[in-house]
Amino acid sequence: MVSDKHFFKKSTTKGESQMKKLKSKMKLSTLFLPIFVIAMLFVSPVFGDEPMSVETEEEQSRVYMKIGTVTVSEKAGYLTTADSPGSVDVIGTEQLENENVDFSMQALKKLPGVYYQDWNQGVIHGSVAIRGFDPNKGDSVGLYVDGIPNNLSSGYMDLRPFFPFELERIELVKGTFDPRYGLNNIAGNVNVFTKQGGNYSKVKLLHGSFQTSEGDAIIAREKDGFSQTYFVGYRRTDGYRDHSDVKKGAVSGKWFYTTDDDRLSVGAIARFFDMDANSAGYLTKDQFNDNPEQMQEFSRTDGGVQENRQISLHADYDFTDRLHYSFKVYTQDLERSRWVQFKPTSDQQERFTDERQSGAISILTYETADWGVENLKLTWGVDYQYQDSIYQRWKTNDRVRRADGIFRDYDYQQWFLGTYIAADTKVNKWLRLTGALRVDRFDGDFEKNNTKSDMADYGNIWQPKVGMVVTPVQGYNFFANWGRSFQIGWTQRFNDDDLDYSKNDGWEAGIKLSPVNWLAVRLSYWEQNASDEVKTNAQGDPENIGETDRDGWDIGLSVRPHEWITLWGAYSKTNAVYTDPGYDKSGNIITYKGKDIQNIPEYTSKLGVDFDHSSGFSSSLWWESQGDYPIDKENELPRDGDYDVVNLDMAYKIKKTTFGFHVRNLFDEEYSGFVWDNGGYDYSPGDERSYYASVAFEF
């Protein structure tokens, strides 16, 4: 029986039977996407009476897939979305403004090849990953917001302070070819751009299931070269499960001044964020099947609080039409307490984090067509970051620290310095070449339970990268890249283990087809091989797992058969294997050699239909699906974690007012957003069907 906090009751037994049949049919639809893509290459679209928009030759040659309208700045740096010789995906403004998610990380689920683990553990809500990495065991993706890094010292992305309504676009770069970033850029990076400048005011109000309410407001003013942009957002929800309520709020301000000749731009961004969230705990399989809404009884006081404070200064200067310089400095603080108990036989812990990160980023770009090629862009980048962090674990009783409480006390300071040189050359109309060399250095000191040590001496960490795009015929692009990235465990940097940093070598090759303006298809195959890979173990410390191999293929498409209709979809197949984990302390080969890496879905698939009519009515129906995965290293436990979920958004715009209606989990799929090997307490239930109404005003 569902509690009265929901708008609608669960389906009847008959409805559940129908849902099982539907799920079975949707499993078969895994084969639909590749067949659909091939078919669309040979089928002409049906056009309306009005002409379709036509892409320029430059736009048709771009090797990226997009969801929604995208505007790319000409001063975005060396690697813009349009320049990438690899897999890049973009979510645009109107998609983000229409999002209804508890955390912005969930908005990335629409992107090809992305899978999301819904931990639903209060302030530790979940994370995304790509290319066969397990986000629960250490992040493999660098996160940058307005050019500022937003990964914690442990590597995990922190997108919590950012509401979707404030975001202009999100770019996902997959692979190892991007030289802009070093630390945390193992399998790719996410670049988030917030709204800045203009003259408008927007307000959005939302209410729906689980007593969810959200209010967002953004005000932008621009005059005589000076722009001001202010944002405030607040969201609260009781959550689908008992004791899973979330309250969070964010405030930001952006002030920029541009000279009359547009050569100099200077500005500042400030942001404040607070969150208070409770945690329902992980369920056993029987508990999950019996009542997924319930909280775990021993988790009745689990949850956490988090505060973020961020300030950054930005400057851009054009020395000439060809020579451009960009400089940023920043400081940001995070303080978080998380109370968690995983089993009835264990103690509740308070996991306390206090981090300060400060840094600077410098980029000098020179672009010319005078050196015997059609276009050449040279870039020199330098980035520096200093981290001062405390990480503690205390034994607690109902959030009260015990007298014998502290059992982990880490205090560490570390700095990172990286630099790269890059060349992006459009040799002629059909060939584009890129090449780069990056090097990073690390140093610091660490105090672990009153024992001090220095950071391991990794020396210079060299990362060469190359790429190319071949366009034999306009609208047909072949691309390939190879690059090296690296990884070092966040506390392993200070341990006595004689381990080198993990070298992660990856390559990708593919084709992007856009022979006509109504169709774009991208197909690629990729591989990544790592030595001395590091994963976070159950105790929260790095663990060396030796050599690993990952490979897979991705297909993405966007089809516009009519001016009102856009079809989009993606299918990604991934293999991830422990190739050579080495030997245990007794000299025996570790048992999981040759096994699949846990928590990596066999496939991910997304398929959507967007409708946008000139009368003001629009809708988006999209299906997300992922395959099952092993939940333990030895692959002895049953595979789990597969699901199919359909979501629906509808909107009607009258002048400058937009009314919205949103349905999540349209067919009321009962599924687990995350399953792991937690000694029997393994399941984090996903939300049941839920309904939301919204209204947005523009002034």
What is the amino acid identity at position 510?
Answer: G
C-alpha span between 420 and 141 (Å, rounded)? 19
Closest CA relative to residue 141, chosen from 124, 123, 159: 159
Q: Give, in order, the Cα–Cα distances in Å from 313 to each of 146, 224, 293, 327, 570.
A: 11, 20, 45, 8, 38
Determine the length of the chain. 699
Write down the pLDDT at residue 328: 98
pTM of the model: 0.89
What are the chain's domains? 13-698 (2.40.170.20)
Q: Answer for the pair 245, 236: CB distance below 8 angstroms, yes or no.
A: yes
Closest CA relative to residue 215, chosen from 666, 695, 620: 695
571 CB neighbour count, 10 Å cutoff = 25
What are the structure tokens assigned to 237, written together? 């929800």
Q: What is the pLDDT of residues 169-180, one digit of tens each?
A: 999 999 999 999
For the chain, counts of helices (H) and of strands (E)? 5, 35
Q: Is the sign of the CA dihedral 240, 241, 245, 251 positive or negative?
A: negative
C-alpha span between 438 and 454 (Å, rounded)? 24
3-class secondary-structure state, position 321 = coil
Q: Are strands 87-91 and 64-67 parallel, antiparallel or unpaired?
A: parallel
C-alpha span between 102 and 587 (Å, rounded)? 47
Whole-angstrom distance between the N-terminal and C-terminal Cα of the chain? Answer: 44
**Whose structure tokens read 């812990």?**
349
Q: Answer for the pair 162, 218: CB distance below 8 angstroms, yes or no.
A: no
Residues of the chain with pLDDT under 50: 1-61, 71-79, 81-82
What are the structure tokens assigned to 176, written together? 């190892």
Write down the pLDDT at residue 293: 97
